[in-house]
């Protein structure tokens, strides 16, 4: 390749990058991310009754039954019960992207019943999302 061919090639590459960058920006959007914090200690005994991995299996089944995409993390934390008592416990944080709040609430209520919880904490944030792909 001579000097002008290299320059022309680099110009073409830069033009395509510019076009692709615009497409990626155009394909990005803002949606809701909802997280549901579920403590694993029983509401009455304040002790975890099942192994953590058993709770995870149950949560996966619930999400599958609702037909919703999700992700989760198991974390350690502390919680103050309605009566003011402080408890440290393992918790599971379910994360949903762009899921209707009515569905999130139904899932949270079902989890409260099955895990015998006073409540589940639900947080919602607006997030900026974009899809990044690589063609092989």
Examine residue 92 and state whether it is found in any structural domain, yes or no: yes
Examine residue 63 and state whether it is found in any structural domain, yes or no: yes
| β-sheet bridge partners, residue 20 | none
Average pLDDT over residues 97-103: 95
Burial 64-93 (b: 16+ CB within 10 A, else e): eeeebebebeeeeeebeeeeeeeeebebbb
Pairing of strands 121-129, 29-39: antiparallel
Q: What is the pLDDT of residue 30?
A: 84
Average pLDDT over residues 98-103: 95
Q: The whole model's pTM is what?
A: 0.75
Q: What is the pLDDT of residue 82?
A: 76
Rounded Cα distance, 25 and 41, in Å: 44
How far is the CA of 4 from the CAs of 10, 12, 14, 16, 53, in angstroms?
10, 12, 15, 18, 63
Taking only the tens place, the pLDDT of each residue in 50-66 is: 999 999 999 999 999 99
61 and 101 Cβ atoms separated by less than 8 Å: no
Rounded Cα distance, 103 and 79, in Å: 25
Q: How many CB atoms lie within 10 A of CB 102?
A: 8
Helices (H), 28-125: 52-66, 101-115
Examine residue 3 and state whether it is found in any structural domain, yes or no: no
**For residue 19, what pLDDT band results from cuts at 50, 70 and 90?**
low
* Whether residue 1 has pLDDT greater than 70: no
Examine residue 59 and state whether it is found in any structural domain, yes or no: yes
CATH code assigned at 115: 3.30.70.120
Domain that residue 87 falls in: 29-129
DSSP tag of 68: -
């Amino acid at each position: 390749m001579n000097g002008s061919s290299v320059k022309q090639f680099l110009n073409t590459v830069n033009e395509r990058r510019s076009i692709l960058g615009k497409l990626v920006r155009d394909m990005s959007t803002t949606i809701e991310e909802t997280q549901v914090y579920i403590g694993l200690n029983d509401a009455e005994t304040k002790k975890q009754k099942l192994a953590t991995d058993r709770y995870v299996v149950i949560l996966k089944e619930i999400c599958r039954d609702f037909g919703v995409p999700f992700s989760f993390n198991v974390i350690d934390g502390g919680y103050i019960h309605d009566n003011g008592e402080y408890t440290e416990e393992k918790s599971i944080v379910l994360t949903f992207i762009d899921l209707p709040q009515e569905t999130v609430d139904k899932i949270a209520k079902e989890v409260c019943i099955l895990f015998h919880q006073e409540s589940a904490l639900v947080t919602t944030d607006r997030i900026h999302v974009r899809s990044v792909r690589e063609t092989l």
